[in-house]
Amino acid sequence: MLALLATALVGCGARAGASQTGNPSLSQARQQPDAQQKPRPSSGSPFLDKLVEAAIERTSHEVRYDATYFKIDYPGGDVPAEVGVCTDEVIRSYRAVGVDLQKEVHEDMAANFSAYPRTWGLKKTDKNIDHRRVPNLMVFFARQGAGLSVTQDARDYKPGDVVTWDLSGGLTHIGLVVNVASDADENRMQIVHNIGAGPKMEDVLFSWKITGHYRYAGPKEKGETDGRHAERR
């Protein structure tokens, strides 16, 4: 019960059966150890190429899935390196290429609080956790003009894109599309995510119901339009 409560607080779900040493909820076919040998398509954006590299690098870290609420520094705050949830992998990947989602989400949420979900009953922002909640990231990315169509065509999901899912039962999930193709479909890129077994690169794009698709290349510069992020390729 405590684990479920903690997961609800963060708004990022782990699948039942997941463990630090393996994830029985995912078939062995989805885990592809030879992925490093495959050709890697460019995203067409130097920033997003670096984001993909940062996401793949995250798979070398051992992270225990822990949805505990932590008080963290601001800006640039992070939960302990050895723990985290699905959102933390996205946050850490962006931070590695110079984008602090903690700061960006907080500033936008503070200025536009009513635009964000009231799921948690909060009456003001919380720098410790707002950016670690999938529904908040979905609103943030959409507000930055980064939203893209949700389709069932794997070719629409490019390296560097962010995808969110509904795991059912009120659980949400998020991951980053990388530039390593699935063995089963060369048009379908794999996902770096943490669904309970630490950061992994797996062929799970269509494993759950997709609820959001985003291409976010960092804060807009002065004078740029809202469509900049989605159209820069």
Q: Where are the domains of the chain?
A: 2-12+30-218+225-231
3-state class (DSSP) for residue 154:
helix
Report the greatest alpha carbon distance in the chain. Answer: 49
Least confident piece of the model among 76-80, 114-118, 217-221: 217-221
Cis peptide preceding 159, ω within 30 of 0? no
DSSP 168: E
pLDDT digits (tens, 9 = 90+) for 86-133: 999 999 999 999 999 999 999 999 999 999 999 888 899 999 999 999
Minimal CA–CA distance to 213: which of 167, 174, 168, 171? Answer: 174
Give this prediction's pTM: 0.85
For residue 174, the cross-strand partners are 164
DSSP assignment of 101-118, as one string? HHHHHHHHHHH-GGGS--
Instruction: Write out the H or E segment, with its range, that includes residue 167.
Output: strand 162-168
| Other beta carbons within 10 Å of 110 | 12
Whole-angstrom Cα distance, residue 99 to residue 117? 23
Least confident piece of the model among 14-18, 50-54, 127-131: 14-18
Note the pLDDT of residue 189. Answer: 98
When pLDDT is cut at 50, 70 and 90, the band that residue 230 belongs to is low
3-state class (DSSP) for residue 136:
helix
Q: From residue 132, give the alpha-carbon distance in Å to each of 23, 80, 201, 231.
A: 22, 14, 20, 26
Note the pLDDT of residue 177. Answer: 99
Whole-angstrom Cα distance, residue 90 to residue 53? 12
